[in-house]
Each structure stands twice: as structure tokens, then as C-alpha cells.
Structure 1
Amino acid sequence: MSPAPSRPRALFAMGRRHRDALFPPTVTDRLTRHVDIDPLVVAESFHRVPGLAAVEILITSWGCPPLDDAVLDRMPALKAVVHAAGSVKHHVTEACWDRGLLISTAAAANAVPVAEYTLAAILFANKRVLEIGGLYREHRGALDWAAHYPGLGNYRRTVGLVGASLVGRRVLELLRPHDFDVLLSDPHLDEAAARSMGARLVELDDMLAVSDVVSLHAPALPETHHLLDARRLSLLRDGATLVNTGRGSLIDTEALTAEAQSGRIHAVLDVTEPEVLPAASPLYSLPNVLLTPHIAGSLGGELERITRSALDEVERYCAGREFAYPVTRAALTTSA
């Protein structure tokens, strides 16, 4: 009988609390069937980690240290990085690409709850749920809601999405059953591609001027820093809602604060610049602004989707198959 094939050596590299949440004992049995890994060892840094030279697969997540030249020199056998989270920009360096490492991400899995949050924000914004809920609590009785919010409701409203990212594309799918006019702004798409996603491609300034809700799904890049500055924020129509589940740096916070304080626009912000906002920020107390502490992404039971995605990728690698969700050097320059 021929000996069983050896399993590649693997290592967790992430914050320990994230390992505990993503890879509890109930799922490590599946992992150890395919790789040689000590589930109790978690590299929160690469100092004093035994056996690095034999590691072939890194299973990473939030809190993974950067994989720079010095670290990679200590892992000559490393061939693959399976990221059990979204963006790999925090730890994948140029040295990884120079080494020819295979990189995978669970960004598609993490996009699902972000898109769900976004859809809820859009539907609640057009229905003015938060504002009416506050007034109802304050007055303890009926008011003429239509008089307070003319045009209330979601039917035939215009929704503009900035960026056809993984999250943006998932939001487009979720919007399909609703009676919206959907606009899309993305410099990397043509009109045919936008139509195939159920949207109409428009310039960003034009979108801002006509949308009832604008939702941001662009990556944080030098060219997108303060994409919505004072000038562009001023283009938003009175009563419009701005939703940001993307990156805080996409919006000029000072300019947004001024617009929100005027009461002219509404905002739903899951990410901000800075994150967290100073305690004195007016955005915390404005009735037309909803702030949440970066909760749109995977939390609680939603983490299981990320875990399953990462385990699937490990199994693909061990079977000699290509990753389902690879990250390339080129794609990383235009993604989150």
C-alpha cells in the first residue's frame, strides 16, 4: 500500500480573537483533514513563531502582520495565502507578488452582509423610517406623515451607486426586485456592462443631482480620496440620503457635517473619516444622520460564511485546483 500523501503545513496568522470567532473547534476538524496545522498556534506577529520555514499555506484574517521581505525570508516554503476576511491590502505587500504567492480572499462572502445593510438603508431612507420613528416616539401619537415627508416611499425612486465593486454588484442584485430607477457611476465600466447589471451608467455629478439615495461602494485609492467633497455634496438634491458602507475617506467629513447640519440632506454612515469620529462631532446627535460603528460587514453568525469560503479555498489548493476567489496584483490596484 502506498503511503498517504503528506498534508501541506499551514499556520493561522491573525488576531487571536478573530481565530477564535472564525475557526472554533467545530470547524477545525474539517481543516485538519487537509492540512497539517496546530489549531492552538496563532501568529499575531511572526516573532518567535516555531516552524515558519515549513509553512506552505497561511490562513490569514484581520490582524495579520504585513508579509514583507523579512517575514517571507523566514518562510521559504510559503506558496499560498488564504484570507478569511475582505481586503488583503493590510498584509499583502509587493514582496508577496514578487515571490509569486497565490492569494485568495473571502471578500465575496463578506460583501453579502454589507449589501444587505445597504439595501435596508436604502429602503428605510426612502420611507423615512428613522425620522418618523423619532417623531412618533416624541409625540406619542399620530401625525400627518405625508405632510411632514412629501413623496414618502420607495416606488419609482432613483438610487445611485458609486462603484461596481463586489458589494456594489451585490447591491445591484438585491435592488432588482424593487421598483427603482438605478444609476451607476464607475469609470471602469461601459454602458453595456452597466445595463447587464440592471443599471444605467451616468457621470458621478449627474447621478448626485438626480438621485434620492446615493450609496458609495468605491475603493479607497488616491484618486477617490474625498471623492465627495464640498462641491459634489452640494449637488445632492434637497432631502437626498447619502449611504456610506465603503470607506470613510470617500467623503470630506467636514463638508458632510456642514451639509447635514443644514438639514438639507440625510446620511447613513457605517464608516467615517476618522474612524471613530471625535466625541464632539455633531454627526452623533443630528436627527438626519444615522451612525453605526462599522457593523455592515460580517459579524456574529455571518462569520460562518467567511469561514466556509476560506475552508473551500484551502481544499481547492490541496486538491491542486485554482482558487475560486483569487486576488491578482493588477486587480488590487483598483479594489478595496
Structure 2
Amino acid sequence: MTVVAWLADDEAGREAYGVVTGGNGRSAIGAIPGVVLVDEPTPEVQFAAPAWGVEIDPAQMPALEVVQLRSAGVDWIVDKIPASITLCSARGTRDAAMAEWTVAALLADVKRVRPFAEAQAARRWERLDISDLRGLRVLLLGHGSIGRETERLLAPFGCDVRGVARRPRDGVAGLDELGALLPWADAVVNLLPLTAATRGMVDAERLRSMRDGALYVSAGRGATTDTYALLAELQSGRLRAVLDVVDPEPLPADHPLWCAPGVLLSPHVAGDTPGGDRAAWVLVGEQLGRFARGEPLRNVVAEGY
């Protein structure tokens, strides 16, 4: 079986992760027999791996059977892919990067990174109280593969970690228990994907349920949080936040979240590390091989996940 595939990315990125350019604009990935690549979304394409934000028009690719993402989240594209085409996520490839960012966010807060940086910028030798991760009560909102890896990385620090998922299982609470767990946590880490059910889930009521002085960390999707409800809590000084995702994105230059007290922001980069990118490309190659051999694909998206 010959598979025609389109990988939307710059040539340097493709070469870095095992895609070798051939003649006449065609390429081969790894050593997968019968797989050829085209540089544009042509009508014969059967397998597409778009970059983040790249539009897929099935009408341009009537032979398209599979769309393989290199992102764990699918919210930006899932509604644009008809049911006749199999959509696969890159779940699992960004776990380590996301978990490391989350641990860094918690450390940055307890070690007072922002206030120390502000004191340095003002050339003030100012002693501030810092704290420990040991004993910190951390609630992971979303306990899929990223949540599990985050919990594993936090274990050596001695944190008390609890997880919440849409379905309860051993050691993990269901979403119906979230209201009771929010007041318990010193830090709430939002790792939720964006679906119809999770949009705006962290609203004013749930934020008010968090204990005074708690930290809110968000690395899933910005629209799962009510931005202005969070902004009100930050401006009151009751909560602090470390945010890799916000709503809207990109954050407008005049948005009040930029200068809110007690917040650290990064521009949706937590999972975009060399290791995460490499793992995503490896998955693309594995999925291409599976498709060419007629084997079941991994990470097939169902119910928006």
C-alpha cells in the first residue's frame, strides 16, 4: 500500500525529526515502506499531520482518511473534521514537558520568583518569606496522562496530591466532588482539555470556593477558566496565579491581566520543548506506519478528547 501524506511544517523542523526530502517535492519519513510526502495538501493526500492552527479543508483532500495532530489538545480542529475522517491526538507526547512546567510553576510561587524579580528590577535588597513544596496540598483538575506524570514528579517533593477527573476511579475523584475539594487545596492545577463540558468550568463560584491565599495554575486551555472572575480574585489579593494559557489568546496588550497583582504569565509554551516536539514527530512516524500496514491507530479522538 502506498500512502500519500502531508506534514505541515517548515523543512528544517521536518528534517530535524526524521523526514528526508526526496526529488520532485516528495519525501519519505524514517524507513516506512510505501509512504511518500507531498509539500501541499493535494487531492491524493490520505494522511495529514497539520501544525498547530493550520486549517484542514477536506474538500481539497477528497482521499483524506486520517488527521494526526502533534498537539495533545484537539479543540482547535475537532469541529472541522467530519466523522468520515479519523482524528488522532498526540496525547502522551507532551506529558513530561507539561509536568515539568507545572512543577516549575509551583516552585516559582512558593519561592516567590515574581516578587524577588520585581525587587531586583527596582534594586531593592528585600527579604521576603518563602515556603516549601513539602506538605503542599495540590489538586490536579484533569487527571489524564499529563496529570499522572505531574503527580509522579511531585512525589519526591512530598506534596499531598489529589486528582479530579470526569470519571472517578481508584485514587481519583469525579467532577461531582470538585466543590468539596477546592477549599482543601493550597494549589489548584487546571490541566483540563477544552470541550463543551469544560468551557468556563472554573467560574466565579468555583474560584470563590478556593481557600484564601491559594494558588491557581492553568496549563490546559484558557477558555476553561472565566478570565474576569479570576482577574477579580487576583485584584483583591485573595488568590495568586501562574498561567500558561489564558482567554483570549494571544492576550491583547491592553488586557488588565498583564498587570494584575500576583500573576505570572507565559504564552502557551509549556508543552513546546525539544523533547515534546521530538516525541510528537516520533508518534507521527509510528502512526504513518500503522496506517500503511492497516493496523489500529493510537489516540483516536472520541467525545472531544
Question: Could you say which TM-score interval applies, normalised by the shorter chain?
Answer: 0.7 to 0.9
Q: How many residues align?
A: 297
Contact 2:234 2:261 in 1 (8 A): no
Cα distance between partner residues in 1 of 2:19 and 2:140: 39
Q: Residue 182 of structure 1 corresponds to which residue in structure 2?
A: 161
Contact 1:268 1:291 in 2 (8 A): yes
The answer to whether residue 256 in structure 2 is matched with residue 282 in structure 1 is yes
* Cα distance, 1:315–1:113 mapped onto 2, change above 3 Å: same
Q: How does 1:263-282 map to 2 (within 5 A)?
A: 263-282=237-256
- Give 5+ residue unaligned stretches, structure 2: 21-27
Letter in 1 for 2:52: W
Query: Which shows bigger deviation, 282-291 or 56-65?
Result: 56-65
Letter in 1 for 2:223: S
Letter in 1 for 2:258: Y
Q: Residue 135 of structure 1 corresponds to which residue in structure 2?
A: 119
Q: Residue 246 of structure 1 corresponds to which residue in structure 2?
A: 220
Cα distance between partner residues in 1 of 2:2 and 2:292: 8
Contact 1:182 1:200 in 2 (8 A): no
* Cα distance, 1:8–1:288 mapped onto 2, change above 3 Å: same
The structure where strand makes up a greater share of residues is: 2
Q: Deviation at 1:308?
A: 1.4
CA offset digits 1:297-327 (Å, max 9, x no partner):
224564222111211221233234333x331
Local SS of the residue matching 1:177: helix
Q: Residue 316 of structure 1 corresponds to which residue in structure 2?
A: 290
Cα distance between partner residues in 2 of 1:7 and 1:32: 15
The structure where helix makes up a greater share of residues is: 1
* Cα distance, 1:258–1:118 mapped onto 2, change above 3 Å: same
* Cα distance, 1:290–1:314 mapped onto 2, change above 3 Å: same
* Cα distance, 1:254–1:94 mapped onto 2, change above 3 Å: closer
Letter in 2 for 1:179: G
Q: Residue 87 of structure 1 corresponds to which residue in structure 2?
A: 73
* Cα distance, 1:104–1:26 mapped onto 2, change above 3 Å: closer
* Cα distance, 1:94–1:298 mapped onto 2, change above 3 Å: closer
Cα distance between partner residues in 2 of 1:95 and 1:269: 29
Letter in 2 for 1:159: V
The answer to whether residue 93 in structure 2 is matched with residue 114 in structure 1 is no
Query: Which shows bigger deviation, 240-249 or 180-189?
Result: 180-189
Letter in 1 for 2:152: E
Cα distance between partner residues in 1 of 2:197 and 2:79: 20
Cα distance between partner residues in 1 of 2:274 and 2:15: 13
Cα distance between partner residues in 1 of 2:231 and 2:139: 21
Q: Deviation at 1:205?
A: 2.0
TM (norm. structure 2) is: 0.84
Contact 2:90 2:299 in 1 (8 A): no
CA offset digits 1:248-280 (Å, max 9, x no partner):
112111111111111221111111111123322
The answer to whether residue 52 in structure 2 is matched with residue 62 in structure 1 is yes
The answer to whether residue 132 in structure 2 is matched with residue 153 in structure 1 is yes
| Identical positions, percent | 29
Q: Deviation at 1:107?
A: 2.6
Contact 1:184 1:201 in 2 (8 A): no
RMSD: 2.8
Query: Which shows bigger deviation, 287-296 or 107-116?
Result: 107-116
* Cα distance, 1:171–1:200 mapped onto 2, change above 3 Å: farther
The answer to whether residue 16 in structure 2 is matched with residue 42 in structure 1 is no
- Give 5+ residue unaligned stretches, structure 1: 1-5, 44-48
Letter in 2 for 1:114: M
Letter in 2 for 1:327: V
Local SS of the residue matching 1:107: coil
Q: Residue 20 of structure 1 corresponds to which residue in structure 2?
A: 11
